[in-house]
């Protein structure tokens, strides 16, 4: 039980820190002093104390959606182990359950966006639905690669079995980690898929869907975003941890730093894709995850390539 | 037996025709409910005891045949019963508006056909094969053919009905050929004889012939083109029963075939591949076109095609896994496929009935004329949301359970090293299907029920009567039960899967029960978390100022409802991927970029299936060409016709003399 709690606490730390690392990296790259490391938490605390404005177009669905969004993400979050620690919840087949919980959260926020009747939010919803649909195979194949090497289909089992891994497999695992980091970027709508730091109206996917949310609802959506980031970051770090050092004190900092710094650097030095390029970008990742899975399969079969 | 069946049929038809206009529905309901109760009691008995024999008789064509209920039939009887009762109850409210418009005989005919459809579907799944099967199958086609053109004054309705009739008969011919082949080799033509046939003769050709025959009914690619035509044309409750249940009889046939092959591992393997491939193509094709549609019922029809694809992916994985020696994968795939068959019959019935509610109030199924319906039809909106979540395979409802089982089978395939490549193909296809289904149904729900009204018809609509809501609640109860208590729902499914694959059901029970138990518990946790968060939010907001205002227009204050995202714009991004599958027909002209002050434009785009234009229109052209040639013989003169007859007799005489005949 203590291990499970430790795992949850570490996950929370990861979730809360990634945004801080991203902001700090961006600040350093731009030569700014930057905001406080935990400024995003203060922002959310402020939002939690505010009132809200609801559009008259909306229905009850609009008010329930943020809780479903956070609830589903939170539940998915509780399934993720940090390296060999035991997660709070686990069952055989939970890798699929987690993927579909994330889909549930996506449906909630898409429908909420459609509920406002705003063309901006409809635009964001349409794109979120499309990108979510296209990224789904990459997610599943990433998980299938992990299942291929570790022989189980629950997160806890996959990462609890340290195995003798050859050097070849190191490459595959690094690529799996890369795939998951990119999935995180796509799911959270960051550069190069989308830029959350522009004016909200210009942010075409993720942020634009929450235009009509304010106060507590906005805070819930932000928290869900952190948890979602942590889910993908930790899976990516775990994939690396499986081959290098099989300990939580290795995987947890890796999850924070690797993803935080990567995203920070990307946001500092890369421009956003033209929107029409995004589909290509996502399909590239899907193709890559398929390639990784097949390479892994061939390696398992001991076929010389 | 035959005598009593005919007598019962005549009594029922007479009762429907003789009762007053408004009471006809109750006669039909009574008959269907009786059938359903009888079917369910027999089905439960069959599930417990193994099989129930009803009657035997001998036919001149194919020898001894019987009506009996085994475990597979039992499952399908239950599916048919639940959906039929919901549909017949629903039909009262739906047809109320038509009672004055049509002649009494028209309504009687409709109810007669509806009862006939239910009965014939039950006969199909109870028949042992051969003549009685083909008879029931044909009766089912004819009954549904009568049901589709209810609004016969619309031209597209008549076209769709004829299209349906022709396609079903092409499928029927394949089935006849299949059964005749079996009868030729084994002497009888029931499903048991197919087992012998597979041992005695070359099995693959027969399988493919029968697969095409059944696939025509199920809507397999490329034989699916009748579905998106017939469903929008038919009244909604008929679409519901056709899409929810009738196309499943095709799946039933394919399952029977797989049951017959069970002993031949090599054959099972190649058949598994065929089924898996058919499932992947059907699923992807269906879902992409579903997401592109702008008509509610066309979207739902394509989604049915996609779900048949998912079922076949499960069946294919089951066969491949079984052939590779893994009973676990076999069991996972088969249980997933069976459960998905049940699930789809439930939520698709609900979805089509919701579409019926909308159609009866708005008199259109064009999505882009709706919007904001949730405010005017709140109960329909909640029920539809429920079905939407279920069909998107999201936890905590039933769609997720069946897809989870299929996924577990494929992930087991990957991690145990059984048929890794096929499992990977299945995973990719299923996850892509899962993603695009979300797009399709958020589009459907978002454009129809959310936002603000795009036409004044929406604002004039009201909620439908309670009986219709009640009828839609029947499948909803089952959806919720399967979703929240999957560990109990899997037991009867595992019993049926055991009967088909021959693998021990204890594998399934041992393996799934803990997973599904945990899933059930987690789903309750999910609901609890959401409730808790909502309470928390409520508490945080309790002493804050909650205001309401217009939707934020990003500084633009003159927004109107026409500026909302439409169905077409929602799926615009997918168009670049779906383009090769479609052929568009465009009506009117879109606003050009150079028009600074555009005037009113009329623009209507319809994404047609490319297969439709390739297959359908090609056939029509060919038939036209042949007809034109043949029609020259129809001179209208009696002396010519006598000459033709003479020529025919002479020809027969010569051929007999030569020895060809």
Closest Cα in chain B, distance from residue A21 (Å): 28
pLDDT at B58: 78
Whether B559 has its CB under 8 Å from any CB of chain A: the answer is yes
Q: Is the pLDDT of residue B558 over 80?
A: no
CA-to-CA separations, A86 to A4, A5, A228, B168, B618, in angstroms, rounded: 5, 9, 19, 56, 61
Q: What is the pLDDT of residues B453-465, one digit of tens each?
A: 888 888 888 899 9
Task: Provide the pLDDT for residue A163.
Answer: 60
Chain B closest CA to A305's CA: distance in Å? Answer: 17
Residue B171 confidence (pLDDT): 93
> What does the alpha-carbon distance between residue B313 and residue B433 come to, in Å, rounded to a whole number?
11
Which pLDDT does position A303 carry in this prediction?
A: 55
B424: closest CA of chain A, how far (Å): 8
Which residues of chain B does A95 touch, with a Cβ-Cβ cutoff of 8 Å?
411
ipTM, 2 decimals?
A: 0.94
**Secondary structure of residue A163 in the 3-state scheme:** coil
With beta carbons under 8 A apart, name residues in chain A contacting B537.
Answer: 66-67, 216-217, 220
d(CA B404, nearest CA chain A) in Å = 7
Query: How long, in residues, is chain B?
Result: 661
Q: What is the mean pLDDT of chain B?
A: 89
B4-53: pLDDT as tens digits: 888 999 999 999 999 998 889 999 999 999 999 999 999 999 998 888 88
Q: Where are the alpha helices (DSSP H) in B417-504?
A: 420-449, 456-459, 466-484, 486-501
pLDDT at A305: 47
Quick one: average pLDDT of B326-345? Answer: 92
Q: How many CB atoms lie within 10 A of CB A227?
A: 24
Write down the pLDDT at residue B275.
94
Name every chain A residue with its beta carbon within 8 A of the beta carbon of B559. Answer: 118-119
Distance of residue B399 Cα from the nearest chain A Cα, in angstroms: 11
| Domains of chain B by residue range | 278-534
- What pLDDT does A203 receive? 67
Q: Under an 8 A CB cutoff, do B436 and A123 touch?
A: no
Which of chain A's residues have a Cβ under 8 Å away from the Cβ of B375? 59
Tell if the CB–CB gap between A293 and B533 is shorter than 8 Å: no
The whole-angstrom separation of Cα A133 and Cα B418 is 28
Distance CA B184, CA B197 (A): 9
Average pLDDT along chain A: 88
Chain mean position to CA B134 = 20
Residue B68 carries which DSSP code?
A: E
* Inter-chain touch A136–B518, beta carbons under 8 Å: no
What does the pLDDT read at residue B594? 85
Integer CA distances (angstroms), A110 to A130, A206, B444, in order: 11, 10, 12
Task: Name the residue facing A147 among B411, B519, B573 (closest C-beta).
Answer: B411
- pLDDT (tens digit per residue) in B76-99: 999 999 999 999 999 999 998 888
Cα(B372)–Cα(B376) distance, rounded to whole angstroms? 8
Average pLDDT of A231-245?
A: 87
d(CA B437, CA B71): 31
Q: Which of A279-288, B342-351, B626-635 has the lowest mean pLDDT?
A: B626-635
Q: Any CB–CB contact under 8 A between B455 and chain A?
A: no
Q: Which of A70, A92, A300 sits opposite B515 (nearest CB)?
A: A92
Q: Positive or negative CA dihedral for B635, B638, B639, B640?
A: positive
Please give the Cα distance from B36 to B41 (Å, whole number): 8
pLDDT (0 to 100) of residue B250: 94
pLDDT (mean) for B531-558: 88
- Candidates A163, A299, A124, A179; CA nearest to A241 is A163
Q: Are A230 and A17 in contact (CB under 8 A)?
A: no
Residues B615-638: tens digit of each pLDDT: 767 777 888 888 888 888 888 888
How large a percentage of chain B has pLDDT more than 70? 99
Per the CB < 8 Å rule, is A52 touching B446?
no
Angstroms from A103 CA to nearest CA on chain B: 7
Nearest CA in chain B to A132: B435
Q: What is the pLDDT, as a whole number, of residue B326?
A: 83
Which residues of B, range 342-381, sit inside 8 Å of A by Cβ?
371-372, 374-375, 381
pLDDT, one tens digit per residue, over B108-143 is: 999 999 999 999 999 999 998 788 899 999 999 999
Cα–Cα nearest to A273, from A185, A213, A184, A200 = A185
Asked whether residue B263 carries a pLDDT value surpassing 80, the answer given is no
CA distance B240 to B245: 8
Give the whole-angstrom CA distance, residue B448 versus residue B367: 6
Give the angle subtended at the CA of B143 by the CAs of B137 and B145, to the nearest 5°.
105
B539–chain A Cβ distance below 8 A for any pair: no
First-residue to last-residue Cα distance in chain B: 39
Closest Cβ–Cβ partner in B393, B424, B572 for A100 = B393
B607 CB-near residues (< 8 Å, 6+ apart): B289, B292, B293, B294, B578, B582, B583, B584
Is the pLDDT confidence value at A141 over 70? yes
Give the C-alpha separation, A63 to A53, whole Å.
Answer: 11
> If you average pLDDT over residues B432-445, what whole number do you get?
95
What tens digit of pLDDT does each residue of B575-630 get? 888 888 888 888 888 888 888 888 888 888 888 888 877 776 777 788 888 888 88
Interface probe, candidates A48, A70, A71, A212, chain B, greatest B C-beta count within 10 A: A71
Band (pLDDT 50/70/90 cuts) for residue A108 is very high
Which residues, other chains included, contact A44 with Cβ-Cβ below 8 Å and sequence gap of 6+?
A219, A222, A223
Please tell me which of the candidates B412, B428, B522 has its beta carbon nearest to residue A89.
B522
**Mean pLDDT for the stretch of residues B309-338:** 91
Q: How far apart are CA A16 and CA B305, in angstroms?
A: 44
A to B CB pairs, distance under 8 Å: 260
CB contact under 8 A, A116 and B451: yes
CA distance A161 to A84: 8
Global pTM exceeds 0.90? yes
Cβ separation A52–B547 shorter than 8 A: yes
CB contact under 8 A, B438 and A103: yes
Packed helices B24-49 and B71-96: angle between N→C axes, nearest 10 degrees: 160
Q: Vertex B121, ends B115 and B127: CA angle to 5°?
A: 130
C-beta atoms of A136 and B432 within 8 A: yes
Q: Does B551 touch chain A (CB under 8 A)?
A: yes
Round to whole Å and give the CA distance between B297 and B290. 10
B23 touches A at CB < 8 Å: no
Element (H, E) at B179: helix B155-186
| Minimal C-alpha gap between B160 and chain A (Å) | 32
At residue A161, the pLDDT reads: 65
Helices (H) and strands (E) in chain A, counts: 10, 1
Chain A residues touching B443 at Cβ < 8 A: 126, 129
pLDDT at A294: 87
Contacts of B392 in chain A (CB under 8 A): 103, 107
Taken as a whole, chain A contains a residue count of: 305
For residue B638, the model assigns a pLDDT of 87
Residues of A in contact with B525 (CB under 8 A): 75, 89
Rounded distance, CA A301 to CA A295, Å? 10
The token duo for B547 is 């205001």
- Cβ–Cβ contact B417 with A under 8 A: yes
Query: Residue B237's pLDDT is what?
Result: 93
């Amino acid at each position: 039980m203590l291990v499970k709690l430790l795992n949850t606490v570490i996950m929370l730390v990861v979730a809360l820190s990634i945004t801080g690392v991203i902001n700090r990296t961006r600040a350093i790259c731009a030569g700014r002093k930057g905001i406080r490391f935990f400024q995003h938490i203060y922002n959310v605390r402020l939002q939690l104390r505010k009132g809200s404005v609801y559009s008259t177009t909306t229905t009850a669905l609009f008010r329930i959606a943020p809780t479903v969004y956070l609830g589903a993400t939170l539940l998915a979050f509780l399934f993720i182990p940090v390296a060999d620690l035991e997660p709070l919840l686990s069952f055989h087949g939970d890798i699929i359950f987690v993927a579909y919980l994330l889909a549930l959260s996506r449906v909630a926020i898409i429908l909420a966006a459609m509920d406002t009747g705003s063309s901006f939010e409809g635009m964001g919803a349409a794109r979120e639905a499309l990108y979510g649909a296209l990224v789904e195979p990459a997610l599943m194949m990433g998980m299938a690669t992990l299942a291929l090497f570790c022989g189980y289909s629950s997160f806890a089992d996959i990462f609890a079995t340290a195995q003798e891994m050859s050097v070849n497999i190191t490459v595959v695992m690094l690529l799996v980690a890369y795939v998951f980091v990119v999935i995180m970027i796509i799911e959270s709508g960051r550069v190069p898929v989308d830029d959350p730091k522009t004016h909200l109206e210009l942010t075409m996917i993720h942020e634009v869907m929450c235009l009509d949310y304010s106060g507590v609802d906005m805070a819930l959506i932000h928290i869900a975003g952190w948890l979602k980031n942590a889910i993908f970051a930790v899976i990516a770090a775990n994939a690396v941890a499986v081959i290098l050092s099989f300990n939580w004190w290795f995987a947890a900092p890796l999850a924070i730093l690797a993803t935080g710094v990567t995203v920070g650097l990307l946001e500092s030095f890369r421009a956003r894709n033209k929107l029409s390029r995004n589909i290509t970008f996502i399909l590239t990742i899907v193709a890559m995850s398929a390639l990784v899975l097949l390479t892994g399969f061939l390696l398992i079969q001991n076929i010389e390539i | 037996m035959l005598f009593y069946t005919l007598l019962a049929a005549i009594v029922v038809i007479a009762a429907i025709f003789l009762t007053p206009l408004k009471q006809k529905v109750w006669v039909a309901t009574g008959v269907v409910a009786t059938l359903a109760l009888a079917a369910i009691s027999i089905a439960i008995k069959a599930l417990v005891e193994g099989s129930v024999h009803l009657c035997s008789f001998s036919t001149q064509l194919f020898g001894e045949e019987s009506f009996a209920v085994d475990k597979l039939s039992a499952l399908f009887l239950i599916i048919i019963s639940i959906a039929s009762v919901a549909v017949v109850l629903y039909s009262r409210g739906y047809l109320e508006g038509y009672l004055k418009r049509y002649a009494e005989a028209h309504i009687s005919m409709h109810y007669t056909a509806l009862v006939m459809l239910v009965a014939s579907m039950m006969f199909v799944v109870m028949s042992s094969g051969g003549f009685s099967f083909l008879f029931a199958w044909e009766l089912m086609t004819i009954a549904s053919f009568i049901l589709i053109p209810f609004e016969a004054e619309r031209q597209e309705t008549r076209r769709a009905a004829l299209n349906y009739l022709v396609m079903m008969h092409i499928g029927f011919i394949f089935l006849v050929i299949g059964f005749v082949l079996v009868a030729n080799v084994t002497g009888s033509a029931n499903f048991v004889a197919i087992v012998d046939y597979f041992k005695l003769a070359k099995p693959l050709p027969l399988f493919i012939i029968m697969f095409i025959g059944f696939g025509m009914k199920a809507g397999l690619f490329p034989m699916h083109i009748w579905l998106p035509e017939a469903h929008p044309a038919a009244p909604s409750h008929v679409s519901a029963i056709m899409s929810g249940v009738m196309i499943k009889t095709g799946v039933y046939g394919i399952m029977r075939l797989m049951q017959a092959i069970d002993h031949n591992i090599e054959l099972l393997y190649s058949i598994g591949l065929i089924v898996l491939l058919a499932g992947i193509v059907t699923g992807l094709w269906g879902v992409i076109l579903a997401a592109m549609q702008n008509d509610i019922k066309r979207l739902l029809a394509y989604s049915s095609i996609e779900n048949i694809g998912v079922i076949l992916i499960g069946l294919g994985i089951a066969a491949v896994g079984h052939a590779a020696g893994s009973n676990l994968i076999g069991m996972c795939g088969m249980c997933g496929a069976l459960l998905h068959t049940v699930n789809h019959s439930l939520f698709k019935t609900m979805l089509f009935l919701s579409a019926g509610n909308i159609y009866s109030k708005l008199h259109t199924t064009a999505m882009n004329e709706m919007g904001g319906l949730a405010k005017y039809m709140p109960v329909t909106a909640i029920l539809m949301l429920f079905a939407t979540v279920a069909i998107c395979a999201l936890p905590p409802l039933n769609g997720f359970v069946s897809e989870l089982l299929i996924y577990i089978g494929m992930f087991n395939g990957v991690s145990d090293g059984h048929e890794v490549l096929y499992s990977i193909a299945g995973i990719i296809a299923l996850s892509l299907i899962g993603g695009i289904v979300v797009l399709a149904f958020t589009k459907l729900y978002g454009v129809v029920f959310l936002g603000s009204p795009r036409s004044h018809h929406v604002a004039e609509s009201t909620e439908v009567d309670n009986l219709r809501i009640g009828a839609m609640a029947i499948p909803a109860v089952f959806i919720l039960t399967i979703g929240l208590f999957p560990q109990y729902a899997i037991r009867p499914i595992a019993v049926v899967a055991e009967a088909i694959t021959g693998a021990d059901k204890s594998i399934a029970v041992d393996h799934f029960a803990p997973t599904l138990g945990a899933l059930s518990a987690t789903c309750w946790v999910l609901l609890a978390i959401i409730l808790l968060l909502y309470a928390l939010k409520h508490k945080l907001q309790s002493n804050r100022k909650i205001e309401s205002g217009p939707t934020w227009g990003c500084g633009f204050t003159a927004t109107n409802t026409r500026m909302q995202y439409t169905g077409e714009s929602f799926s615009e991004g997918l168009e670049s991927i779906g383009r090769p599958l479609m052929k568009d027909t465009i009506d009117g002209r879109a606003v050009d970029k150079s028009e600074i002050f555009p005037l009113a434009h009329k623009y209507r785009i319809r994404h047609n299936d490319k297969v439709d234009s390739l297959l359908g229109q090609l056939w029509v052209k060919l038939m036209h060409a042949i007809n034109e040639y043949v029609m020259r013989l129809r001179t209208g003169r009696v002396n010519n016709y006598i000459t033709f007859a003479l020529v025919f007799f002479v020809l027969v005489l010569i051929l007999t003399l030569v020895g060809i005949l």
